[in-house]
Amino acid sequence: MNDPIEDALLSYPLAEVPHGFSRGVMQQIRARSPLPKFRLSWLDYALGLFLCSLPVVGFVIRASLPRLLVMRMEYQWLRLSSPTLEPLVLGTVGILVMALGLGLIVGLRFTLKPKRFGM
């Protein structure tokens, strides 16, 4: 506690709260901000239906692909997981994860930035 202003404020005795102070404050808060009613919009339902249908769509697409294309995709996956390309793939994935993490941190920094009043 090197700040003399903070020391002075902490050393002053606390004043008594006036009678009915908290009741008056709560009445003003209650009058100014009514509770909003919770409602789901059509977008909430559409987004839920879309996200729940993604696995089904994936299975349908996988089942409807020609056999030759499925074999080609499996071959490409095997080539990517070969020991010679593994360091390259892991490095790329690591860089992408770090870039996404940095983007998340920067986004949160701008989103949660405190607002300054007065200046």
In a domain, 19, yes or no: no
More confident residue, 24 or 6: 6
CA-to-CA distance for 65 and 72, rounded, in angstroms?
11
Q: Please tell me whether residues 65 and 48 are part of one structural domain.
A: yes
Domain that holds residue 101: 84-112
Indicate if the pLDDT at residue 98 is higher than 70: yes
Q: Please tell me whether residues 93 and 73 are part of one structural domain.
A: no
Is the separation of the CB atoms in 56 and 48 below 8 Å? Answer: no
- Amino acid identity, position 90: L
Indicate if the pLDDT at residue 119 is higher than 60: no
pLDDT tens digits along 7-55: 877 888 777 777 777 777 777 776 665 667 778 889 999 999 999 999 9
Tokens at 65, concatenated: 């692909």
- Give the pLDDT confidence score for residue 116 in this predicted structure: 67
Residue 102, helix vs strand vs coil: helix
Which candidate, 73, 47, 49, 77, places its Cα nearest to that of 61?
73
> Would residue 35 be called left, alpha or beta, if left means φ above 0 and alpha means ψ between -120 and 50 degrees?
beta
Secondary structure tally for the chain: helices H, strands E: 5, 0
More confident residue, 2 or 83: 83
Domain count, the chain: 2
In a domain, 17, yes or no: no
Name the most confidently modeled range: 3-7, 41-45, 109-113. 41-45
In a domain, 13, yes or no: no
- Distance of CA 108 to CAs 4, 28, 101, 104, Å? 35, 33, 11, 6
- Give the pLDDT confidence score for residue 34 in this predicted structure: 63
